Structure formats: C-alpha cells, structure tokens
C-alpha cells in the first residue's frame, strides 16, 4: 500500500488510480517446537483503487484492494498424518493515509506519512481424507509509518521507492470448525511488519499517468492464548493460534487520472 501520493504540480489536486494486481501469497504457521505446522501458498488476482488529494504540501488518500485465488495447503493432522489440500482465500485491505511532501531544489519529491487501515483474510481449507474442512476470518487493523522518495526524469517519467513499518492491534481470528467443533474466536498476539515498494510512472499529459509497481510485504503474528474448544457446548479440549509469518509480493499495472 502506498502511504503517499504522486501528484503533478499545483496548489490543489484530486487524483485517482485504478490498478490490476497479481499477488503471490505465502503463510507459514509454526508448531510449539518451532517446526512448520502448515503452509499455504499460491497466486491471487484482483484490483485496487485509490483516491487522493494534495493541498499544498499536505497529502491525503484512501485505498481499497481486493484479491482472491486458490492456494495449495500442506499441514499435519491431529494424529500426525500429512495433509495436502487446497485453500480458497479472499484478501481485502482498506486504508486511509495522510502525509507531508518535501520538495528540494532539484524538484524531486520526498514524502513522510501515516496510514490506518484494516486487512481481512478470509480462507476456507477444503476437507481431505484425513481432516475436516475449516474456515477462518482474520481481521487485522494496523497503523503504518512510511517514507517515499520520487525522482523525476525527462519526458514525463518518474521513478520512486517507498518503505513502511507496520504495527498491528486488536487482531481477531474467527474460526468455523464446521462439524468438528463449535465456532470460536481467537486473538493473535502482537503483530509487526512492513513493506518495500519500487515503481515508475509515465505522464503523457498533465492529467494522466501510466505506471507499474512491485511491492514486498511481510507480517509476523504472535500466538494467541489457549481457548476452550467445545462441541455442542461441552468442552473437548483447548485450541490456540500458533502464530504465523505471512509474506506476499504484489505486482501492479496502474492508470492514474488527475483533476
């Protein structure tokens, strides 16, 4: 997610971006002994839209991203047998951000900003011969602090690099065990992460741009406290979220319009 906007000269500019996106997503959950308990990975595809305003040196924008796909899933059953199946995953991220632009004498741009948003990852793990199905909805609000540097080349071409640090808060994981147990809600531990982005744009006219971006994100989720696992309101054990590392790379093709 870009924390800053890229605007043409002027006292006040509205702008919008629309983009097609391709994501390669990977999530790894670890067992208590540190070994990999399960892993899912694969491609997601979708779209993204941004709307922003620059007023003088101050920047604000809103961003919405949605992507989905089918991932491969490999894990272990409760009795230690390997599981190989697929996951249907929907990835959504909405956020708003504000920042300030510093323009040095060479007309390059340097922005710093803060962004607040929420990421939702909705996945359904298909049943296999050795395991029942499972559905999860992870809600992960966050705050990001970032900086962006943009260099202007001749002929309306610009290149930029961006970095952000993220701190998560109030995460919830709603789990639907289907027929195995009653639904429950877990609260993953502290979350930290960040991203790095490279991009370039061409401005054929003052009101339009074409661009490509490549972004790398990494998030680390802590383990949750154990919760009682019930079946028909009768305790059958405990369940906990073991923590995970999630990584994804995003490629974007963008069209921008300025007002």
Least confident of 98-102, 131-135, 170-174, 244-248: 131-135
- pLDDT tens profile 209-231: 999 999 999 999 998 998 888 88
In this structure, CATH architecture of domain 12-258? Beta Barrel (2.40)
- pLDDT tens profile 106-157: 678 899 999 999 999 999 988 877 777 889 999 999 999 999 999 999 999 9
Q: Write out the chain in H/E/C secondary structure.
A: CCCCCCCCCCCEEEEEEEEEEEEEEEEEEECCCCCEEEEEEEEEEEEEEEEEEEECCEEEEEEEEEEEEEEEEEEECCCCCEEEEEEEEEEEEEEEEEEEEECCCCCCEEEEEEEEEEEEEEEEECCECCECCEEEEEEEEEEEEEEEEEEECCCCEEEEEEEEEEEECCCEEEEECCCCCCCEEECCEEEEEEEEEEEEEEEEECCEEEEEEEEEEEEEEECCCCEEEEECCEEEEEECCCCEEEEEEEEEEEEEEEC
The pTM assigned to this predicted structure is 0.87
Strand partners, 226: none
- pLDDT tens profile 13-62: 899 999 999 999 999 987 766 566 789 999 999 999 999 998 888 999 99
Q: Would you place residue 76 in the very low, low, confident or very high pLDDT band (cuts 50, 70, 90)?
A: confident
Q: Would you place residue 79 in the very low, low, confident or very high pLDDT band (cuts 50, 70, 90)?
A: low
Angle ∠(166,141,91) on CA atoms, nearest 5: 95
């Amino acid at each position: 997610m870009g924390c800053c906007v890229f605007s043409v000269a002027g006292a006040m500019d509205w702008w919008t971006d629309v983009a097609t996106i391709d994501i390669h997503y990977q999530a790894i959950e670890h067992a208590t002994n540190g070994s990999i308990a399960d892993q899912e990975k694969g491609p997601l595809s979708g779209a993204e839209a941004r709307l922003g305003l620059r007023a003088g040196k101050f920047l604000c924008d809103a961003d919405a991203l949605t992507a989905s796909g089918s991932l491969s899933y490999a894990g272990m059953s409760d009795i230690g047998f390997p599981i190989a199946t697929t996951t249907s995953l929907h990835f959504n991220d909405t956020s708003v951000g504000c920042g300030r632009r510093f323009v040095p004498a060479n007309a390059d741009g340097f922005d710093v900003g803060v962004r607040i948003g929420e990421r939702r990852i909705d996945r359904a793990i298909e049943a296999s011969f050795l395991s029942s199905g499972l559905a999860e909805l992870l809600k992960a609000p966050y705050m990001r602090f970032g900086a962006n540097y943009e260099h202007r080349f001749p002929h309306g071409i610009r290149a930029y690099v961006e970095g952000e640090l993220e701190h998560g808060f109030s995460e919830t994981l709603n789990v639907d065990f289907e027929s195995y147990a009653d639904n429950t809600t877990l609260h993953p531990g502290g979350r930290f992460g960040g991203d790095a982005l490279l991009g370039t744009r061409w401005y054929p006219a003052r009101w339009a741009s074409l661009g490509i971006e490549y972004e790398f994100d990494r998030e680390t989720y802590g383990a949750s406290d154990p919760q009682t696992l019930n079946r028909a309101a009768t305790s059958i054990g405990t369940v906990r979220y073991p923590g995970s590392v999630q990584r994804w790379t995003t490629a974007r093709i963008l069209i921008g319009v300025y007002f």
